Chains A and B, each alone.
Chain A
Amino acid sequence: MSTSTDHGRPDPEATSPAANSDGRPVSDRGDTVCVIGAGASGLTAIKNLREHGFGVDCYERETGVGGAWNWRHDRSPVYASTHLISSKPFTQFPDFPMPDSWPDYPHHGQLLSYFERYADHFDLRSHIWFGTEVVRVEPVEGDRWDVTTRSTGGYGPERTARYAAVVIANGHNWSPKLPRYEGLEEFRGEIMHASSYKDPAQLRGKRVLVVGAGNTGCDIAVEAAQQASRCWHSTRRGYWYAPKYVLGRPADQVNDSLLALRVPLRVRQWLYHWTLRLTVGDLTRFGLPKPDHRVYETHPIANSQLVYYVGHGGIGPVPDVARFHPYAVELADGREIDPEVVVFATGYLPRFEFLDASVFGDSAGAGRPTLWLNAFTPGHPTLAVAGLLQPDSGLFTLSHWQTVLFARLLQARRDRPERATAFASRVRERAGERYSGPVKDSSRHWFEVGHADYLRAIQRALVELEGK
């Protein structure tokens, strides 16, 4: 390892003064890399960059690690009962296994303690500036970046530091996506987004309408079935509700044994439909709509309990919401229901408010960047996004390999520039590639990847970069 591994914290007096476009002083951090966010992807970025010999400054707006998985954070979307939907081998970092004593699908509190142990084990905290948020990230000449930060909440002066590279790991599950409905403003009941749902006590004894059939929506519908006096669950289309266990093993492990054998998608779909038919059977008998797509074409929903509570009558499946009235909700099929609480589990949109949208080739400002491997930006070889993925499996393995690839790329820029140039041209060529089978077009599936396809793509990129 080089001696430049540890620059310590930026000290404006010790570094050479420079000035940015506004004429304010910039402290030059040399070869140091800036990581934005100390959530799961940010932590693995710090660890892998350090392992490859880079100095790292990480800015985290909260006061602890774990990002979305730390329920104390105001941007955390987790609720009291959140459990993982991918089993342990798929969820853990590939080089830091979760303890054997944990269940197949750990609770979010366990996941947080896992991240804390990861941070302590690899001594990452000394590289993180807690309580500091990033205001602006601007490209400057020489593929370097000016990062302007201030204390969370906007207190104190802004400081700008110049970095050799930036990893954006600010997460994509914190900016709620709220659909527009006619008459929503006049509705007199309580309306909340799933991000503010924390505890089933919020629903106890009430008539609840849950909108959205993502994994969150299904979880909340199940809790409402247990706690609320009445629960409706509104979905846009029929979905495949995958059980968490099939054939006596976690379902994703069964699926991956097929993937390891490279069983083609059609065969897997057929096997899947057949397994579901044998277990839960035809869901239209409960009044659930028939799925308008084949399995694997939408983000998978792993919930064994939803169908169970539909069978108990605890959840009333209803179609899409047409419009809101002051005391009632009109459904697409003309029925009217009268919920007291409406929970919108309608998902989140990514936001990069500190970055000019044109950097990402997203001139429309819709929040959908055009990237290669969902991580690399054409024209900006020293910028990477970590964890901007919706995998059909655990995310952390994928962001681990993303950041390994980025660290190797930075190494190549230093040691073998011709390979880094070739990499940059591949980024330009292949930006916008997808790594999944055909999926339904929806903002929910912008970042959908099949974990097997995606990891193979990363592996190819690594091999191409290192030319082995």
Chain B
Amino acid sequence: MRGREWSRPVRPARREVLSAVPELEEGRPPLLFVPGFGHGAWAFAEHWLGHVASRGFPAYAVSLRGHGGSEPAPEATLRAYAHDVVQVAASLPRQAVLVGHGAGALVVAHALARYPARGAVLVAPVFGGWKVLGAALRRNPAGTLPAVFGGPLRLNRGQLFSRELPDEEARRYVGRLGRAGRRAQWALLGEPEAEPAVGAPPVLVLGSPDDRVVPASTLTRVARRYGSAPLLFPGMGHDLMLDARWAEPIDAILDWLEKEPVAR
């Protein structure tokens, strides 16, 4: 029974979806990338989308409402974000694999309860809670504190990237960051527990032990929830898809997909 959900449907919003489709359709499941708070679909278009397509998987990335090229939505909730993901996933020609990054992984976890994905990948998942807040406050008090009171969350380059990434590029990426809805940011504090996923999809968790947003213990905890251990990429920042060695994690994801029965 989801009476409340039915009686108050999410208000539709225009969404930006970027895609890269392989030239030859090989019947592989499409990947749908969900960026974290502040990021837009552009973060994946930079490197990952093209790379995924070159390995024969159709790749799509959505900007959650209020992010990137999607419609502004200052009052967006976590549920609205999950709705965006499910809407895009259902519009794809085949059953999709959802890939969420950062808080986008939390959105994916919620979307999994409303859409039977072929599989799911949680990249450096931010599932909220006091521990993540504590880490963020320690690393970047000026950028984090306003978010607690409903202001924007400003992440700095030290949190997101490793030192290997050229300074200029890092500054460009940080400049493109937007902000998530106030209510969705607050939702992170409450550590919202996602309903169990429908259709029992296989879930892969990966991250970096040197991530300054997600503590390694959180990675392990999230992975355990899905009955696995996290795949680690030392020496990388939080934004694995933009960092200098972006190719390693995405290759690992695609290898996993090829090995799992999901890539039938």
Q: Which residues of A contact B (CB under 8 A)?
A: 1, 51, 88-90, 94-97, 99-101, 117, 120-123, 253-257, 259-260, 452, 455-456, 459
Contacts and interface: CB of A to CB of B under 8 A. Distances in A.
Contacts of B234: none
B24 interface: no
Contacts of A88: 9
B3 interface: yes
26 contacts: A89-B6, A89-B9, A95-B199, A97-B86, A99-B87, A99-B91, A100-B12, A100-B13, A100-B87, A120-B94, A121-B92, A121-B94, A122-B116, A123-B94, A253-B7, A254-B7, A256-B6, A257-B3, A259-B7, A260-B3, A260-B7, A452-B1, A452-B3, A455-B1, A456-B1, A459-B1
Contacts of A1: 200, 261
B116 A51 contact: yes
Interface in B13-47: 13
B4 interface: yes
A254 B90 CA distance: 26
B156 interface: no
A96 B1 CA distance: 16
Interface-centre pick from B7, B95, B115 (highest chain A CB count, 10 A): B7
Top 8 A-B pairs ranked by shortest CB distance?
Answer: A260-B3, A100-B12, A257-B7, A256-B7, A89-B6, A253-B7, A260-B4, A89-B9
Contacts of B8: 253, 257
Given A121-B92, A259-B3, A260-B3, A95 B115 contact: yes
A121 B6 contact: no
Interface secondary structure of A, over-half rule: helix
B7 A96 contact: no
Interface in B144-185: none
A120 B91 CA distance: 11
A428 B243 CA distance: 62
A97 B83 CA distance: 9
B93 A120 contact: yes
Interface size classification for chain B: 20 to 34
B72 to A, nearest CB: 16
Contact of B93 (A51, A95, A121, A257): A121
Interface in B212-264: 261
B2 A94 contact: yes
B194 interface: no
A65 to B, nearest CB: 16
B114 A94 contact: yes
Contacts of B193: none
Contacts of B198: 95
Nearest to B262: A1
A95 B4 contact: no
A51 B198 CA distance: 9
Contacts of A51: 116, 199-200
B3 A121 contact: no
B94 A96 contact: no
Contacts of B114: 94-95, 97
B90 A96 contact: yes
B7 A95 contact: no
Contacts of B13: 100
Given A99-B91, A122-B116, A257-B4, 6 more contacts: A51-B200, A89-B9, A97-B87, A117-B90, A256-B6, A260-B4
B7 A121 contact: no
A100 B89 CA distance: 12
Nearest to B264: A6
A98 to B, nearest CB: 8
A1 B116 CA distance: 14
A373 to B, nearest CB: 15
Contact of A123 (B1, B9, B83, B95): B95
Contacts of B1: 260, 452, 455-456, 459
Contacts of A97: 83, 86-87, 90, 114
Contacts of B5: 89
B87 A122 contact: no
A90 B7 CA distance: 9
Interface-centre pick from B1, B6, B87, B92 (highest chain A CB count, 10 A): B6
Nearest to A90: B6
Interface string B60-95: 000000000000000000000001001100111111
Contacts of B87: 97, 99-100
Interface-centre pick from A95, A99, A255, A259 (highest chain B CB count, 10 A): A95
Contacts of A452: 1, 3
Contacts of B7: 89, 253-257, 259-260
Contacts of A455: 1
Contact of A253 (B6, B93, B94): B6
B119 to A, nearest CB: 12
Nearest to B11: A100
A244 to B, nearest CB: 15
Contacts of B116: 51, 95, 122
Nearest to B86: A97
Nearest to A456: B1
Interface-centre pick from A100, A259, A456 (highest chain B CB count, 10 A): A100
A101 B115 contact: no
B4 A101 contact: no
Given A95-B116, A123-B95, A452-B1, A253 B90 contact: no
